[in-house]
Amino acid sequence: MSADSAPERSAFATTLQIIPVVFFTFLCYLTIGIPLAVLPGYVHNDLGFSTVVAGGAISVQYLATLASRALAGRSADTLGPKRTVTLGLIGCGASGVLLLLATLVAHWPALSLALLVASRLLLGCGESLCGTGAILWGIGRVGTANNARVISWNGIATYGALAIGAPLGVEFAHYLGYWTLGVAVVGLAALGYWLARPIAPVPVVHGERLSYRSVFMRVFPHGMGLALGSAGFGSIATFITLFYAARQWPNAAFTLTVFGLMFIGARLLFANTIKRFGGFRVAIASFSCECAGLLLLWLAPVPHVALAGAALTGFGFALVFPALGVEAVGLVPAASRGAALSAYSVFLDLSLGITGPLAGYVANLFGYGSVFLFAAMAAAAAVVLSASLHRRSVRDAQAAASVAGAPAATGAE
């Protein structure tokens, strides 16, 4: 019996089936989170490069994830989710080796930066494979009726890892040295690979497969909403440490922790609202909340207000991916779910890849605070787009109901 036709199970039993596989997403994003708050300062202060280069060195990871999304989707649909996850973990481990080498040659800034960029490229590929594979693995275990639940728990694993990893990486670098970042990444990837071995794979879904281009065009509007909303996270992840440093405020990494904790709290408490109210309504509310948080961060006169803005941003951003993702995945046949997830996620990668250097340019012209105003404007645009998509979906549903009802009415006559 396939997971799609499995009988209803309790929410608790479903969660117990999901957690073991999204744990690999947690490990993957720990490898991302541990160096995240440290590397912008390392590139800018230790290696001596500009803020634009610092932002680009971080964002190149997201461009690599973007470039590998199609491969990740095909891998999950054809090789299976488990194999896709293990390949991703190998990529994360290899990135850790290059990160270690980059920190060991800091006295040669150009070489160190080159190794760091190569490390970020491999990490981006690993992220793509792990993230897509883990979601498909979870859906294969609990069925498509629980798509939103799987995506939500995968996001909890993602941002929970970032919330833990960012301050952990700061402590590693401060007390032990930058070299420990690479060692930690290698160790976490190896642990994930070892833990994945005994977990049973799920069957590869056979049937109609759309071309990647066709899938991409179907999810394009939803992806654009995701891209606009993701600018807030990209701005905070890349520039919050430099924003705090410019104001001589302490504990910048704690802002990422609060962002992640609020993200997790919203996912745990409000994930069911997607099924209850629909993805588009939840997206509209989420983008509005995120916009308010980013404006608060932009206007923050003291660290506590900035912390509140980051918390509100994390709370608002929490349900964006699953809300629009459920609507996007529902547009394709079952055998193309991996392609749909990867195509949809492309927009997250694209947004994060562009945000770093673009926000660096904005910061150079107007100051670090203006980065968050720029992101707030993007979130406001996402509200407008989501409202438009919601109206279109309502019209399409009414038209479909009208067409379906016409033959029945004729027959009654």
Question: Phi and psi of 200, rounded to 5°?
Answer: -65, 140
CB 160 within 8 A of CB 279: no
CB 290 within 8 A of CB 381: no
The answer as to CATH 3.30.360.10 being correct for domain 13-399 is no
The amino acid that residue 279 corresponds to is: G
Taking residues 212-241, what's their average pLDDT?
A: 87
With a cut of 80, say whether residue 313 has pLDDT above it: yes
With a cut of 60, say whether residue 1 has pLDDT above it: no
Q: What is the pLDDT of residues 180-200, one digit of tens each?
A: 898 999 999 999 999 998 888
Both tokens assigned to 389? 């998509």
Give 106's DSSP letter.
Answer: T
Residue 332 DSSP SS3? coil
CB atoms within 10 A of CB 88: 30
User: Which ranges in 176-299 belong to alpha helices (H)?
Assistant: 179-196, 212-246, 252-270, 273-277, 279-299
How many CA atoms are closer than 13 Å to the CA of 148, on its beta-carbon side? Answer: 23
Q: How many helices (H) and strands (E) does the chain have?
A: 15, 0
Q: Select from 402, 148, 406 the least CA-distant residue to 277.
A: 148
CA atoms of 89 and 117, how far apart (whole Å): 18
With a cut of 90, say whether residue 86 has pLDDT above it: yes
Both tokens assigned to 187? 């160790």
- Per-residue confidence at 175, pLDDT binned at 50, 70, 90? confident
CA atoms of 123 and 106, how far apart (whole Å): 20
Both tokens assigned to 340? 């749909």
Taking residues 345-371, what's their average pLDDT?
A: 81
CB 173 within 8 A of CB 39: no
CB 52 within 8 A of CB 361: yes
Q: What is the mean pLDDT of the chain?
A: 83
Compute the C-alpha angle 256/259/261, nearest 5°: 110
Q: What's the pLDDT score for residue 5?
A: 43
Q: What is the pLDDT of residues 259-302, one digit of tens each?
A: 878 888 888 888 778 878 888 999 999 999 999 999 999 998 89
Residue 383: in which H helix or E strand, if any?
helix 370-412
Give 7's DSSP letter.
Answer: P
Burial of 301: CB neighbours in 10 Å, binned 0-12, 13-18, 19+: exposed
- Tell me the residue length of the chain: 413
Q: What's the pLDDT score for residue 4?
A: 46
- Per-residue confidence at 72, pLDDT binned at 50, 70, 90? confident
Q: What is the pLDDT of residues 362-385, one digit of tens each?
A: 888 888 888 999 999 999 999 999
CB 369 within 8 A of CB 298: yes
Burial of 282: CB neighbours in 10 Å, binned 0-12, 13-18, 19+: buried
Q: What's the pLDDT score for residue 411?
A: 36
Measured in whole angstroms, how far is the alpha carbon of residue 46 from the centre of its chain? Answer: 28
